Structure 1
């Protein structure tokens, strides 16, 4: 048996971009979830609330598409936001068959509070990166998504 005290067991994986992204994402999202939890939010509900606050009247199908979710999964997220009184559902004025989502005043306030907490979380998590490196990281990740 080999003594593994001097080497990282995942050394053979660290050169893989996907593996490194997954490990970094796991760390960042776990801490973000910890930050959001006292506010009654999860990453998914925060994301949905942000889209709704930024685009009042967005339809359920548009929300699901914007977040890359299955429409059926978005319904549970919307239900949670509505039960928390952070959004309302209304018939769309343009298409009476569609449901438009609108933030409430409490929802707008909660989204702003959570966003500030997440910005502080990111400042802490990415403290070793310069502002230019942070901007470049966002640009590179956007390039991968595209």
Structure 2
């Protein structure tokens, strides 16, 4: 190991670098900080961020199809199949045939899934309250609006 690498590992201070001037870098750092804490919040429920997101959409949209879920989560349909399989194995959702469409399945949260979703929702809301405590309510709302605009490509 080089002396420089050794120094970096021993020093807990964040390195000052030119990346901080870029919005993308700043957004990524904020996202990673929020995500790490969120993972700790939902892990005890057996959820990951992707399964939490999928369960959330299914719980709020009974009988959504896997294709619609893929679209809502902005992921490939094959990735949704893996998430749906995982949630179904955990007993959190059911996959039901759609009458008149042999290729589609309607997804619905089970009683256990709804209870897990409610618990997860409360944990994530508490996590966000804690993580955003340094911002006023108005700043938090402005941040959401601005991030949505960025996400919409505006």
- Provide the C-alpha distance between the structure 2 equivalents of 1:59 and 1:18, rounded to a whole number of angstroms: 33
Q: Which runs of 4+ in 1 moved over 6 A?
A: none
- Provide the C-alpha distance between the structure 2 equivalents of 1:46 and 1:10, rounded to a whole number of angstroms: 35
- Provide the C-alpha distance between the structure 2 equivalents of 1:56 and 1:10, rounded to a whole number of angstroms: 48
TM-score calculated relative to the size of structure 2: 0.87
RMSD: 1.8
Give the SS at the match of 1:13: helix
Q: C-alpha displacement at 1:9, in angstroms?
A: 2.4
Partner of residue 107, structure 1: 113
Q: C-alpha displacement at 1:90, in angstroms?
A: 0.4
How many corresponding residue pairs?
Answer: 143
TM-score calculated relative to the size of structure 1: 0.92
Structure number with higher helix proportion = 2
Q: C-alpha displacement at 1:83, in angstroms?
A: 0.5
- Provide the C-alpha distance between the structure 1 equivalents of 2:55 and 2:103, rounded to a whole number of angstroms: 22
Match for residue 121 of structure 1 among 102, 123, 127: 127
Q: C-alpha displacement at 1:13, in angstroms?
A: 1.4
Give 1:71-90 correspondences, 5 Å limit. 71-90=77-96
Q: C-alpha displacement at 1:12, in angstroms?
A: 1.3
**Does residue 16 in structure 1 map to residue 29 in structure 2?**
no
Q: C-alpha displacement at 1:11, in angstroms?
A: 3.4
Q: C-alpha displacement at 1:14, in angstroms?
A: 1.2
Q: C-alpha displacement at 1:15, in angstroms?
A: 1.6
